[in-house]
Amino acid sequence: MNLAWKELRRRPGRFAVAGVILTLIAILLMFLGGLLDGLLGNSTGAYRVQEADRFVFSASSKDSLVRSRIDADTRSAVQDAVGDGVVGGIGSVQLGGRLEGRDVRDLVAVVLFGYEVAPKGLPSEVPGPGEVYADVALRSEGVDEGTEIQLGPDRTPVTVIGFLEDSQYNGQGTLWGSLDTWQTVLEANRPGETLGEGTVQALVVRDGPTQATSAAIDAATGGATSTLTITEAIEALPGVSQQRATFNQIIGVTVVIAIVVVALFFALLTVERTGLYGVLKAVGASSRSLFAGVVLQAVVVTLVAAALGAAGALVLDAVIPAGAIPFVAQPSRLISSVVYLLVAAVIGCAFSLRRVLKVDPAAAIGGSQ
């Protein structure tokens, strides 16, 4: 091990090629992961920001918020089922927003949510009529506190009274107002989608001490609802699971490439060192200690590459303008990428194990026959 460490310190050039390739792979891995997190974050923020445990959709909606309709009777049944839990209505409408001073065709795509149970970061009291909180992503569009946004073809005005974070939905900025504000905007701009009195698109449920299961809630409504946990509801969002699967496959292939790079590089190094290993074995080195040295070198080279990759990802995160690319460098993603690379390094090294075991100390003194 000491020998391997000294070689790393004194002959860093020997590991430069593998280091550069692994650094590029690390950057790619972290960039892909950051893109996935950014895309998913921008698509699912409105669900993740809920201070609730479950979403209740109508059974016929296929767990789509836009298609779902929950009437007052169903809501009452849900409330009975959850007992001391909190139930709140939620509705959404996607519209173009006009901002003062911008061209009439220069619309900002927004999703207005009406809510009763306050999302994370908002006061428990819902805003007054015509007042909304805005997602911080809309700041990049010039939205600030006091900004009036005219929504939809009716140009229904709403005024921003504050901000909340990480609540984007389908890649769009969100506005959060009362159910009344939402219904007013909906009736004015989408008269065909107007809902009856007391009807909302879905319910959010915050479990009480005696939490009801999703199945119990659906049973209480006679099968009129489809209740999902927040995590399940996020996965049910269109494209989320597909995006995750696609990116994870690309990340998986990248990790396999890292394994191949480490395997090939250290296999070549091991071939180069056959004579040296023979001598070391002859003077008493065990195969185990020699292989441990190979693993140490692979792990150190990979750690350096991963650190450079992480630094690159953080720099990218800092320099990419807000809203330009859905990229976010989350610590958890960076750490998991480092772990993947380290696992790849160890697996890659394993291909050299047989070669190290096969080195015959007799070769050192020419006695191998």
Partner 1 sequence: MTTTLPPVSTDLALQMQSVRKTYQVGDDEVVALDDATLRVASDEIVALVGPSGSGKTTLCSIAGGILSATSGSVVVAGNDISSYSAKQLTEFRRESVGFVFQSVNLVPFLTARENLLVVDELGPRTGAKGKARADQLLEELGLSDRANNLPGQLSGGQKQRVAIGRALMNEPSLVLFDEPTSALDSKLGDQVVHLIREEMKSRGTAAIIVTHDDRITHYADRTVHIVDGRIEA
Minimum gap (Å) between residue 289 Cβ and partner 1: 7
Minimum gap (Å) between residue 119 Cβ and partner 1: 60
Instruction: Report d(CA 343, CA 302) in Å as an integer.
Output: 10
Non-local CB neighbours of 275 within 8 Å, separated by 6+ positions? 363, 364
Stretch near partner 1 under the rule CB under 8 A, chosen from 6-14, 168-176, 221-229, 297-305: 6-14
Minimum gap (Å) between residue 287 Cβ and partner 1: 9
Q: Which is nearer to partner 1, 2 or 242 (by Cβ)?
A: 2
Nearest to 356 by CA among 301, 295, 313: 295
**Which three-class secondary structure state does DSSP give residue 149?**
strand
Q: Which is nearer to partner 1, 93 or 285 (by Cβ)?
A: 285
Q: Which of residues 348-367 bind partner 1 (CB under 8 A)?
A: 361-362, 364-367
Size of the site for partner 1 (CB under 8 A): 24
Q: What SS3 string covers 176-229? A: EEEHHHHHHHHHHHCHHHCCCCCCECEEEEECCCCCCCHHHHHHHCCCCEEEEE
Q: Which is nearer to partner 1, 296 or 310 (by Cβ)?
A: 296
- Give the pair of three-digit tokens for residue 225: 């609802």
Q: Which of residues 251-270 bind partner 1 (CB under 8 A)?
A: none
Minimum gap (Å) between residue 15 Cβ and partner 1: 12
Backbone angles phi, psi at 175, to 5 degrees: -120, 145
CB neighbours of residue 169 within 10 Å: 22
Q: Which is nearer to partner 1, 86 or 282 (by Cβ)?
A: 282
> CA dihedral defined by 353, 357, 358, 364, rounded to 10 degrees?
120
Stretch near partner 1 under the rule CB under 8 A, chosen from 36-44, 160-168, 272-280, 303-311: 272-280
Q: What residue has token string 């180069």?
A: 272
Stretch near partner 1 under the rule CB under 8 A, chosen from 52-60, 158-166, 202-210, 271-279: 271-279
Minimum gap (Å) between residue 361 Cβ and partner 1: 5
Instruction: Report d(CA 327, CA 33) in Å as an integer.
Output: 9
Stretch near partner 1 under the rule CB under 8 A, chosen from 4-12, 88-96, 111-119, 171-179: 4-12
Helix (H) or strand (E) holding 44: helix 16-48
Stretch 310-349: interaction string toward partner 1, x if CB under 8 A = ----------------------------------------
Q: Which is nearer to partner 1, 159 or 289 (by Cβ)?
A: 289
**The residue type at 365:** I
Q: Which of residues 10-49 bind partner 1 (CB under 8 A)?
A: 10-11
Q: 35's torsion region: left (phi>0), alpha (psi -120 to 50) or beta?
A: alpha
Minimum gap (Å) between residue 271 Cβ and partner 1: 16
Minimum gap (Å) between residue 22 Cβ and partner 1: 22
Instruction: Report d(CA 279, CA 109) in Å as an integer.
Output: 70
* Residue pair 125/248 in contact by the 8 Å Cβ criterion: no
Minimum gap (Å) between residue 270 Cβ and partner 1: 15
Minimum gap (Å) between residue 286 Cβ and partner 1: 5
Stretch 274-303: interaction string toward partner 1, x if CB under 8 A = -xx--xxxxxxxx--x--------------
DSSP E strands, the chain: 54-58, 86-99, 108-115, 131-135, 148-151, 156-164, 173-178, 202-206, 225-229
Q: Which is nearer to partner 1, 5 or 239 (by Cβ)?
A: 5
Q: Which of residues 197-256 bind partner 1 (CB under 8 A)?
A: none
Minimum gap (Å) between residue 359 Cβ and partner 1: 12
Residues of this chain that bind partner 1 (CB under 8 A): 2-3, 6-7, 10-11, 275-276, 279-286, 289, 361-362, 364-367, 369
